[in-house]
Amino acid sequence: MFPRALGIARSLALYYGVPFRAQRLSRLYAPFVARGALCFDVGAHAGNRVRCFRRLGARVVAIEPQPDFVRVLQMLYGRDRAVAIVAAAVGRSPGEATLLESRRTPTVTTLSAAWVDRVRTDPSFAGVSWSPGVRVQVTTLDALIAAHGMPAFVKIDVEGFEAEVLGGLSHAVAALSFEYLGVARDNAVACVDRLARLGDYEYNWSRGETQRMAAPAWLEPDGMREVLRRLPGDGGSGDVYARLRDGRLAAA
């Protein structure tokens, strides 16, 4: 129990205790999130993106499978009528699944056994271990859209399960982000491939926790794929951002 409590405390300190992080996040998301817009936070964890989206005046659906962090979200945002908290994972199809839980570092809890096997070779994961955790409900982005409406922005951070999350989306959304990891960059390339089948997207990316775009101009899909493929195995992590260009949709 103590390692889990320590892990939760570490997450809260990381996401709420770093000076000026909230301001940097607001600047990053402001071009995507207008007042009154709807945002999905897939893998909401401790809710710092929920806080950011609310400060920008958006309504938020916060989706989180870890029961401990669902309780954190309820404590922090449960009284906010503009925040809906969904206790579930998100995947390609609805059902149930077992979380692979890292009790000391709950930020890397995942549904992807393949991702766990891959990242064990990354020095930044030295000392991290996973074990089967609780069974959780799995929903899809399509089901969330049917229940809550079409989001203006979807943030996806689910530790190697991002391509599976996008596999459950059949509607192009205006803008979204998904995490990349150098040691598992093929997962991020698969996300670009999936989005290319949904709509005419252009891309940028943000390294680590810099909260700023790395490229001076937005990239074509092939340009983003090339950036990802050139990442070294120890290239760290960050987020890829995608936005529809001129609102053009491709056939799903």
Looking at residue 223, its amino acid is G
CATH of the domain at 64: 3.40.50.150
Question: What pLDDT, in 10s, does the model give residues 173-216?
Answer: 999 999 999 999 999 999 999 999 999 999 999 998 888 999 99
The list of the chain residues with pLDDT below 50 reads 248-252
Q: Helix (H, G, I), strand (E, B), or coil: what is residue 121?
A: coil
CA 202 – CA 224 distance, rounded (Å):
8
Query: pLDDT value at position 127?
Result: 84
Query: pLDDT value at position 216?
Result: 95
Kindly state the helix (H) or strand (E) to which residue 204 belongs, with its residue range.
strand 199-207
Query: pLDDT value at position 249?
Result: 44
Q: Angle at CA 151, nearest 5°, toward 145 and 153? A: 135
The domain of 194 spans 2-249
Q: pTM of the entire structure?
A: 0.90
Contacts 24+ apart (CB under 8 A), 211-216: 211/21, 211/24, 211/25, 211/27, 211/28, 212/24, 212/27, 212/28, 213/28, 213/241, 214/238
CA-to-CA separations, 145 to 4, 13, 115, in angstroms, rounded: 32, 32, 27
Facing residues of 97 across strands? 136
Q: Helix (H, G, I), strand (E, B), or coil: what is residue 186?
A: helix
Instruction: Report how many domains make up the chain.
Output: 1
